[in-house]
A and B are shown apart, each in its own frame.
Chain A
Amino acid sequence: MKSIKNHLSLVIALLSILFSIQIFTIVDRSVNAYKDNLATNYSLVVVSNSALSEKTIIEADERINTMIELSPDDVIQRLNTGMSTKNMELLKHTLPKFYKVKLKHYPSPGDIESVTKKLLTNQSVTKVENFSQSHDTTYKLLLLFKNVVSLFATSIFVITTLLIFKELRIWQFKHSERMSIMALFGAPTWLRSAVLFRLAITDALITSAVAFGLFAYMSSSSWVLKQFEDIDINIVLFDPLYDFAMLAGVAISLSILLATLIVLGHKEEV
């Protein structure tokens, strides 16, 4: 019972750290997926008094992905109040050219401003509509969400790290006597600390296994999946290979660091 309690304290602290890391990863993936969605739907409208070549526009800024000419037919149809075909054709040629410019990524407000300026340097371009107001609101909301989650994850990380350091002191006290006794009989450092490292690695593996179970369950939970479906985001919540390797790596590294600090901080009793 006492042994389980000893394992639990480190396992829970490590699990909190792994949980905050994975939550941050999920949020980061969600934000990126959302940005991709927005980037697909976002475009600037360029008004030009002469025809523009796509190559020239793409070369104007590396963030520009494609340019599609907007057909003036819809506008002309709305203006068509008994106009002759000849006048219609004349009007079509008089109207400025409209283009939809798509970007490679969802831009920041700075990106929009810079792309707009670059497009306006083209002599033929008379106006660039970038819908900056609605874009700014979406972008700021996204940024706020990401920052709040980052802050939350950092707080958990800091608190659990402090917990781990407290655990370190307890371990130091608990293992110090045994390590000193072993030293009195000539045990080399690796042998003295072997038990400690074995315990630390065992706890890290237990934590990784628990985290794997927890996130594997979460990623297949219909309730969780529905939440992401509702906001139209399709991401990998838990990659059993990459994410597990990352979490196990963090857990094992932290435990080994903890054990190493104890070994380095150990002073032989005189």
Chain B
Amino acid sequence: MPEKFDVIVVGAGPAGTSCALVCAQKGLNVLLIERGEYPGSKNVMGGVLYRKQMEELIPEFWKEAPLERPVIEQRFWMMDKESVVQFGYKGLEWGVEPYNNFTVLRAQFDQWFAKKAVEAGALLINETVVTECIVENGKVIGVRTDRPNGEVYADVVVLADGVNSLLSKQLGFHKEFRPDEVALTVMEVINLPKEKINDRFNLEDNQGCTIEIFGDSTKGNLGTAFLYTNKDSLNIGVGTTLSSMIKAKLKPYDLLDYLKTHPMVRPMLAGGESAEYLAHLIPEGGYRSVPKVAGNGVVVVGDAAQLVNAIHREGSNMAMHSGLLAAETVIEAKYRGDFSESSLNLYRQKLYDSFIIKDLEKYKDATHTFENNPQYFKEYVPMMNKAMSKFFTVDGTPKRDKQKEIMKSVTSERGTIKVIQDIYRAWKAVK
């Protein structure tokens, strides 16, 4: 007779591991199934881990987790072909406890995090693919894996199987995501000696910097690029919505090569040695793409539930928090002995009351607005660069005349009414 667990969690990423950890801490019998060779072996993100949601799961985790550098500086670049307008913030308060966020390498961090769940009592099984949910009388009662005698049963199955979530698709919770609901990101880890990183980014040991790059980094398409500092490597990557990539006939690897050889980026990478190449889909459909998240005997967490805030590059923190909320729900359901959809819908309620859905709701039109109005990336970024160049070039023209000239060139390029429309539209999308 196959074993029955309290909870089966499918996928040992941030969402699944969080859920498994909290359930195991409360004494539930948890099985965590990962398809990769080890947790983290298949997981990709730019590399920023937020402190707050992680701390709720493991207090003072920074004392033992494999982290790269605490981020003390966040820069934003509006990049044109041969110029860049920069702004950002650097503060030493982010370099001391309790910190703000960290750069991490997921292959190491996820392994450590999953070990914490195992220490709490969860059973972790790697290299095993869950092929489908076992459904009986409209209720999910377990999962079928690709192994011989591969059925396992549980009161609740937590789907943390990532962006494509074939399992929640099997249950009819969502359709195949459209190309404008997902972004394709490619990235490289580039090894570079610590001293060089410190010099080039104006850092000391145990200080990190993140740069988000808009504009020419995606050849003006909807998306961003990033450059993050690890201890002795850099993460550089670029992503755009799949639909933009299709429309502009871009190849993701060409885009990354373009970024790496861009004159504004190239000197920061010089002499580095490519160590890893990674690519992944990111769910960026936002509020309107969030599928059904609870059913009879099943809940959906993390990327599988499309919980990513693309504007603020937040995802892993939302994944962890959704895992925590799912765990709380499962624990309460266990107490009530009721794993029906109406019982597990408490998770949906918790999710919609939390910052996760509130933030996604705030930006529900952002992706759509920027996707349908390419001028924000294609025209305004170069315009900003030209304006700054003009304003700071000392050529004997009075500053007031320069300002007039800049305004004139903006309105003549785009038209006064259009500029006002653009500003209003952008404000509406992110207000």
Q: Does B bind A?
A: no
B-binding residues in A (CB < 8 A): none
